[in-house]
Amino acid sequence: MWWNLGLEAFTVFLGITAGFLVERWKQRREEQKEATFYLESFHRDLTRIREELERSLQEYEAWIRAMDRALKEKKKEEISRYLGTLKLTDVSFPSYVHAMNSGGFRVLHAYVLRDKLTESALQLERIQRMDHILESFYLSQVLPALFRAVTREIKTEDLWVVAQSYRSILVQKRALLRKAHAMLPPLLSLLKQPPA
Assess contact for 88 and 135: CB atoms under 8 A: yes
C-alpha dihedral (15, 21, 25, 31), degrees to nearest 10 = 120
| pTM check: above 0.85 | no
What pLDDT band is residue 165 in, cutting at 50, 70 and 90?
A: very high
Q: Is 82 or 1 the better-scoring residue by pLDDT?
A: 82
Position 51 pLDDT exceeds 70: yes
Supply the pLDDT for residue 195.
56
Supply the pLDDT for residue 57.
95
CA nearest to 79, candidates 174, 165, 160 = 160
Q: Each residue of 68-88: pLDDT tens digit?
A: 998 888 788 888 888 888 888
Count of the separate structural domains present in the chain: 1
DSSP at 194: P
Determine the structural domain holding residue 151 and report its residue range: 2-192
Supply the pLDDT for residue 152.
80
Position 135 pLDDT exceeds 90: yes
Q: Lowest mean pLDDT: which of 21-25, 64-68, 190-194?
A: 190-194
What pLDDT band is residue 127 in, cutting at 50, 70 and 90?
A: very high
